[in-house]
């Protein structure tokens, strides 16, 4: 079945550092890919998405590019802030799939 594997954390960074969280997927057909973020004590928020190969999703300074050849959707941000401290989830939705399949989540802590 469809699945997502993402980089294990926790990740601790200083403010203004570069952040990368790796995500790879296994799926049949042409899935859509998502990054969700969970801030402390809150629910899951959609951060960005990409629906086809070579699409780049972006939001709040974060970017991820759908790479079909490497089955990857790595999340990047060039200069993190303390407010970016959260758990980040990579997720996949298959071609005719109702549900999202989530990765294990990566905890990111940004220190001032």
Partner 1 sequence: EPEVTQTPSHQVTQMGQEVILRCVPISNHLYFYWYRQILGQKVEFLVSFYNNEISEKSEIFDDQFSVERPDGSNFTLKIRSTKLEDSAMYFCASSEGQGRNSPLHFGNGTRLTVT
96 near partner 1, judged by CB under 8 A: yes
1 near partner 1, judged by CB under 8 A: no
Return d(Cα 45, Cα 27) in angstroms, integer.
23
Tally the C-alpha atoms within 13 A of residue 9's C-alpha that lie toward its C-beta.
Answer: 20
51 near partner 1, judged by CB under 8 A: yes
Determine the size of the site formed for partner 1 (CB under 8 A). Answer: 26
35 near partner 1, judged by CB under 8 A: no
49 near partner 1, judged by CB under 8 A: yes
Looking at residue 78, the DSSP 8-state letter turns out to be S
Q: From the CB of residue 109, how many other CB atoms can be counted at a distance below 10 Å?
A: 14
Looking at residue 82, the DSSP 8-state letter turns out to be G
CB closer to partner 1, 5 vs 17: 5
> Which residue ranges make up the site for partner 1 (CB under 8 A)?
30-32, 34, 36, 42-46, 49, 51, 89, 93-105
């Amino acid at each position: 079945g469809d699945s997502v594997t993402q980089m294990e954390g926790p990740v601790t960074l200083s403010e203004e550092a570069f952040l990368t969280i790796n995500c790879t997927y296994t799926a049949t057909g042409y899935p859509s890919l998502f990054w969700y973020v969970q801030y402390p004590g809150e629910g899951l928020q959609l951060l960005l998405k990409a629906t086809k190969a070579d699409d780049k999703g972006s939001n709040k300074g974060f970017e991820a590019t759908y790479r079909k050849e490497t089955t990857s959707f790595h999340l990047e941000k060039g200069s993190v802030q303390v407010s970016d401290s959260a758990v980040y989830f990579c997720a996949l939705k298959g071609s005719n799939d109702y549900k999202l399949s989530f990765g294990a989540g990566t905890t990111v802590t940004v220190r001032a």
